[in-house]
Every structure is written in C-alpha cells, then in structure tokens.
Amino acid sequence: MRRAALATGAVVVLGWPWAVPRYFVFLASLIVVNSIVAIGLNLLSGYTNQLSFGHAGFLAIGAYTGALLTIHVPALPVPAALLAAGLVTAAVGLVLGIPCLRLEGLYLAMATLAFGFVVVEAILNLDWITRGNDGLRVPAAHLGPIALATDTARYYLTVAVAALLVLAALNIARTRTGRALLAVRESEIAAQASGVHLAAYKTLAFVLSAFYTGVAGGLFALVVGFLSPDSFDVFLSVDFVAMIIVGGLGSVPGSVLGAAVVTTLNDSLAGFQNYRPLIFGAILIVSMLFMPGGIASALRKLAVAGAAGPPRTGPPTASL
Amino acid sequence: MMIRAALLLVLALIPPALPASAQPPGVSDKEILIGGSNSFSGPLAFTGEQITKFGVDLYFKVVNDAGGIHGRTIRTIFYDDGYRPQDAVANTKKLVEQDKIFAVIIPQGSPPVMATLAYLEENKVPLLFPYQSSPETRRKRYVFQGMTVSDRSSKMMIDYLAGQRKLKKFAALYQDDEYGKSFLTAFEKDLGRFGLKLVAAESVKRGVTDVSAQIAKLHAAKPEVTFLVLVPGPGAQALIERQKIGWTDTLMVSTGPLTDERYLALAGDAAEGVEGLSLWPDPLLSDLAGVKRYREHMQKYFPKNGPNRYSIAGYFAAMLFTEGAKRAGRNLTRESLIAALESIKGYESGILPPLTIDADHETQKRGLWVRVEKGRFKPLTDWLKSE
C-alpha cells in the first residue's frame, strides 16, 4: 500500500510538467521550493521547539548568494551554486544560532523576527553588489552545456534537489543526531541528563535549518528570476510558520503538504484582492481548530480509522 | 497495477489539443480580456485599489455601457501581489498562461513590474502603462510606460527652477532607494547643465518618519530650494519639522510621485506655500473637460468613492487602451494594438495635454508647477516640457 502510494507520487511528480499547463509547472516549482524551506524550519521548530519568524531572511541570503554566483561565475554548475547558497546561509545560521541559545519562546521569536529585518536592511545597504531596491535579475543557470531556461527544466532541478533533501531529513531521525534532537524537543532537562549536549544540538538545528532554507533560496532565485528586498518581507516568514503548523510540526510529509496548501492558497486567493489576507487567515484558523496536529496527523488518524486497527499512541513524530 | 493506474490518471489529466484560433489570447467575438497584478494588500494597497477598481474599471464601465470597442466589451482581472515581486511573477504568469489575457494594464511599483518585464517581453504580451517611475521601461517594443519617469521629472523641475526662476542653491532630502537615488542622479546631471551642484543631500530610510536630524543638517547648508524625494508620511513630516524649527528661507519642492492629496492632508498648515511638480491636474477642482467627465463618472458608478489622482491614473490608462484598441479596429491583435498606440499623435484626453507616443513609448512626459494655497495645489504654470 505504502509502496504503491510512493510509486503513484513519483509518477505524478515526474509526469507533472507533461500533464498540466505551463503555469502549474511554475506553481509546482514554487511549492517544491517552499517545501524545502518548510522542512528546514521544521528541523528547527519540530525537533527542538524553537520557532523562527526570520526564515525569509535565510531564504534571502541563499537567494542572493545563488543569484550572485550565477551572475558573476556563469561557468559554475548549478549544484555547486546551490551548495554554496546553503553553506553561506548555514554559516549565518551558526552566527545567529549561538546568541539565540539563551532565548526561548516569545523572545526567540522576536530575535528571529528582527533578524529578518536586518537581512533586508543589509541587502539595501550592500547595493553595490545586490543592486538594492532596483532588484536583481537572475539569468538562467547552467548544468554543463544545458541552460535551465524553461519552467520544466527548473521544475526538474527543484524536484531533484528536494528529493535529496527530503531523504536526508527523513533519515536524520534515525541517526544519533536526530535522536538527540528529538530528545531535546521532548524534554531539555531529560536530554541533558542523558548526556545530550544541549547547546551544541540546538545550534546544530539552527545550522541545518539555515542550510535547507539557503538551498531553497538558491532555487527560489532561479525559479522566480528576479530578487528584490521586497520579496523577503516579514509576511513571508509568517507564511513559512503557517506551512509547518498547517502541515504538522515535526513531520516531513507534513511540511510538504503544508507548503503545498499554503502556496496554492496564496496563489488562488490572489483574485480576491483586498480580501486575500482575511480569507487566508480565516482558513488557517479553521484548519488549526479542526486539525490541531496539522494535515499530517489528521491523515494519520484517518488512515488508522480506515484500517480499524488499534490506535497508535505516542507523539505525532512516530512516522518520521 | 498501481503504477499503470497512476499512469492512466496522469494521461487523463492531459488536456486535449485545442483547435487553433485566429484571434489572439484574450480576444473573442464578444469580449476583450485584460488584467494585471497590483497591490491590494501591503504598503500600496490603497493606491492599487484606486487605480484598478475605481480607475481602470470605472472607465471600462463607461465604455461597456456605450457598447464596448468595435462590438466587444472589456473585462478585467486583477490579482493581489502585496508588492512582492515573486507574487507579481506568479500572478502575471497565471494571467498570461491560464486566464489568457490580451495585455497587462497598469501594474504598480518598480520591483513587481521589473520582475515581470523580461517575461512579458519574451512572450510578446503588451505591458501597458505601468505605474512606476524607473526609466528602465523605456524603448521596449511591448512596453508603454505610464507614469512620468524620474529623469523627465528632474529635467522639468531643474529647467523651471534654475532656468526660469534663476535659483542657484539646491539641496535634496531623498528616500534611500531606487526612487530617491534615480532622482538624485538626475538632479546632479540637470544641475550640471546650469553649472550648479547640490549643496547638500540627506537620505531617509524607507519606512522611517522621523526626519528631524536630516532637516537640521539641510538647514545648516542654507539652500534656496530643498527637493523632497519622499513618500507622503516622511514628506509631510519634513514640512512639519521645518515649521517647528522656524526655517522659512527655503522653498520646499515635492517630486511628481509625492505631490498628492494625502501628503497635503498629513502636513496640514505646514504645507502652505510649498511647491511641487504635479503629474495630474487637480482631480477634485480642475475644470478641464476630461477631469469633469471623470468626476461625473465616479459620481455615477462609485458615489461613495472620492476623486483622487490614483483613480484618475487608472481611468486615464483605460482611456488610452480604449483609444488604441479603437484605432486597431475590429481585427485586434497584440501587434495591431502596438501599431495603433504608436500612431497616437496629438491625442486630446481632456485630462493631460495633447498626447503623442514616440519611439520611446512613454505616454506621460509633462507636468505642471503647483503651489499649495489654502490646502490645495494651485497651478503656477502651464504644462512643462521634458523633451
């Protein structure tokens, strides 16, 4: 059953550009990019209970790094540019993660919120390289001799990168690091008592999260083709938080579903003009009321009810 | 088995090939469909709503009620981008590829417009009258610029002040972004023609309203003219601060995008005697025939919405589209629309001076000089030239 579902999923994902109008290929690329951010944010929030309202800032760093490399080093293959985008962003995540260790809950949210604004200001002030508010046009990236100039090419690039990152995220939970992170989430005191170095693992979560978001940023630059500080406002960070809450905290499939729902909603509500934020907010509230554990846990409950087996217990992360 | 089912599902989703049609996207026997991405949320939400619903749509209601253009009515679709470039890209792609619009009309803001420029050109979709002031849209085949661009505004301002009024010491308070900087560069260049330089220039970060330090520094430089290249909030604050410190021996001058009623209302009596370049006649008081008609139409279709320069900008954009589509005739295509717009010479709108569209594809090149008297902009000059 599970294998069949996976096979269907793979066929749909790979066949998508041939089955749907061009616009939905672009939209799907955006969903995939947002999924990577949501997984990254979930590594931080779902695993170690640290909520960030500054992920638009990480996305911006990755996006500008990737874009500037594509512009100034056109010979660089895309994977290298994306890796660089991830590493630069991870380095920033490390620098931000260390002071944030002392902060929790609301204070951490405020610090990360401020980080988002700082990044936008930095982009504005580094206008000799970022072109500030004029915005940066991102040319087509190259993979060997092939220019990724079409929506379909860019879609397959995002899917390939996302597949790697999803696999990695799914497997983190099975590693020593992943277990340590989960232990931190369940109880910091208990984790510490069991010999988990709290500061090191919390910082690691920040770095991992930033890396994912940075890679997503590099893809974002290629998919959208234009960057400006206005792309990375605070509402984008809030959208990312909404994705993991709607999808399910601590769940990789949930992150992907959440990203798909929020991105599609944002897109399909654009026609409601001034009512867009209102309708968007209302849908979020309703979905949180009726699916408190997110889509992932709601689906799990449905599956359990359908199989009429004994209800599974334990935290919703059991399927990670 | 499951895989085959999945393949069948995918195949079922493939749309059947559509019969080729002679008419371009967005044009049917009965209808012309145009649209755009605009701000309905975010920092420019008010402007966006006025431009589209109360401007573009207002004029098209009038046209449709009178029978449309060559038997076709006009329908519009507008999507919200909240001033985010990526949302503008998504909306524009959706409009072009899904909704199949004929042309994009009056999208707002430099970043969202710049983000879609290359895509629209590539797909040969006309981008009509974008509401932004960067000159980057100039001389592009599929683009017809709307708002007067910054280098033209600067030329009119300097020619008038340094040329006609023989003023010599200029300073500027500008917003620290592409809007402010493009004006600053243009001011320096135009002052250079008169052998002059800016004696001081102070910047204001976007979103900041406290400008007291900058005003104190500018005061110390003793300029005869102080340009305000700002948005309404800080623009009004600059006037209030100037009044507070009793700085009277400078002429404060607002740029085209700033010279609007909101800036006036925020500044209150501190705005008295301030001058500026206005890109539109007074939407409330002007007795130009076209502006009067605009007010009558607004009163008829949207009696609760007051006239303002954003809705008149949208109204004017729709008027210009209508003129182009009429000239293109019943056989309307994207190419015939472009040829028709390029053929517009000395067009009388009753709102702006006679309009001629040249190879630069700019539809607004003139402004008039105004001074604030008793809380209104009073014209001091006829339409100035920027050629």
pLDDT digits (tens, 9 = 90+) for A163-215: 999 999 988 878 888 888 888 888 888 888 888 888 888 889 999 999 999 99
| Concatenated DSSP letters of B325-380 | HHHH-SS--HHHHHHHHHT--SB--SSSS-B---TT-BS---EEEEEEETTEEEEE
Among A6, A133, A278, the strongest candidate for a mutation testing the B interface, having the largest count of B CBs within 10 A, is: A133
CB neighbour list of residue A124: distance below 8 Å, 6 or more residues apart: A130, A132, A133, A229, B176, B177, B205, B206
Distance from C-alpha of A242 to C-alpha of A248, rounded to nearest angstrom: 10
Range of lowest pLDDT (A308-312, B83-87, B180-184)? A308-312
Question: Of the candidates A22, A230, A273, which has its C-beta nearest B78's C-beta?
Answer: A273
Residues in a beta bridge with B251: B225
Q: Which residues contact B123 (CB under 8 A, 6 or more apart)?
A: B96
Shortest distance between the Cα of A127 and any Cα of chain B, in A, equals 9
Per DSSP, the three-state class of A139 is coil
Q: What is the pLDDT of residue B346?
A: 94
End-to-end CA distance of chain A: 18
pLDDT at A124: 86
CB B67 within 8 A of CB B92: no
Residues belonging to chain A with any Cβ–Cβ distance to chain B shorter than 8 Å = 4, 7-8, 11-12, 15, 18-23, 26-27, 30, 121, 124, 132-135, 137, 220, 224-228, 230-231, 233, 235-236, 266-267, 269-274, 276-277
- Distance, in Å, from the CA atom of B122 to the CA atom of A118, rounded to the nearest integer, reads 35
Contact A273 B49 (CB under 8 A): yes
**Chain A touched by B49 (CB under 8 Å):** yes
Considering only CB atoms, which chain A residues are within 8 Å of B174?
none
Reported as a single tens digit per residue, the pLDDT across B103-148 is: 999 999 888 999 999 999 999 999 999 999 888 898 999 999 999 9
Q: What span, in angstroms and rounded, lies between the C-alpha atoms of B23 and B381?
A: 47
pLDDT of residue B3: 54
B299 three-state secondary structure: helix
**Comma-separated ranges of CATH 3.40.50.2300 domains in chain B:** 25-147+287-356, 150-278+368-384
Contacts of residue B185, defined as CB under 8 A and 6 or more positions apart, other chains included, come to none
Are the C-beta atoms of residues A154 and A29 closer than 8 Å to each other? Answer: yes
User: Which chain A residue lies closest to B133 (C-alpha atoms)?
Assistant: A134
- Give domain limits for chain A: 21-231
Residue B217 CB contacts under 8 Å (≥ 6 apart), including other chains: B200, B202
Report CB contact under 8 Å: B78, A21.
Answer: no
pLDDT tens for each residue of A40-56: 999 998 878 888 999 99
* Touching A: B residues 5-24, CB under 8 Å: 5-7, 9-11, 13-15
What pLDDT is attached to residue B17?
A: 47
**Mean pLDDT over all residues of chain A?**
88
pLDDT at B40: 93
Nearest Cα of chain A lies from the Cα of B326 at a distance, in angstroms, of 28
Percentage above 90 pLDDT, chain B: 80
What ipTM is given for this predicted complex? 0.86
DSSP code at position A101: T
Count of CB atoms within 10 A of residue B374's CB?
A: 7
Instruction: Please state which of the four CATH numbers 3.30.1330.50, 3.20.20.70, 3.40.50.2300, 3.40.50.12160 is assigned to the domain occupying B150-278+368-384.
Output: 3.40.50.2300
CB contact under 8 A, B85 and A30: no
DSSP B211-228: -HHHHHHHHHH--SEEEE
Report the residue from A20, A135, A273 with minimal CB separation from B111: A135
- Tell whether B115 lies on the interface with A, counting CB pairs under 8 A: yes
Helix (H) or strand (E) holding B46: helix B45-51
Q: What is the pLDDT of residues B251-269, one digit of tens each?
A: 999 998 889 888 888 999 9
Determine which of A228, A237, A280 to mutate to test the interface with B (most B C-beta atoms within 10 Å). A228
The model's pTM: 0.87
Q: Give the integer Cα–Cα distance in Å for B24 and B33.
A: 11
Rg (alpha carbons) of chain A, rounded to whole number: 19
Is CATH 3.40.50.2300 the right assignment for the domain spanning B25-147+287-356? yes
> With contact defined as beta carbons under 8 Å apart, do B308 and B285 qualify?
no
Contact list in B for residue A62 (CB cut-off 8 A) is: none
- Chain-chain contact of B80 with A270 (C-beta, under 8 angstroms): yes
In tens, the pLDDT along A92-138 reads: 999 998 888 788 778 988 999 999 999 998 998 888 899 887 889 99
A-contacting residues of B 22-41, CB under 8 Å?
A: 37, 40-41
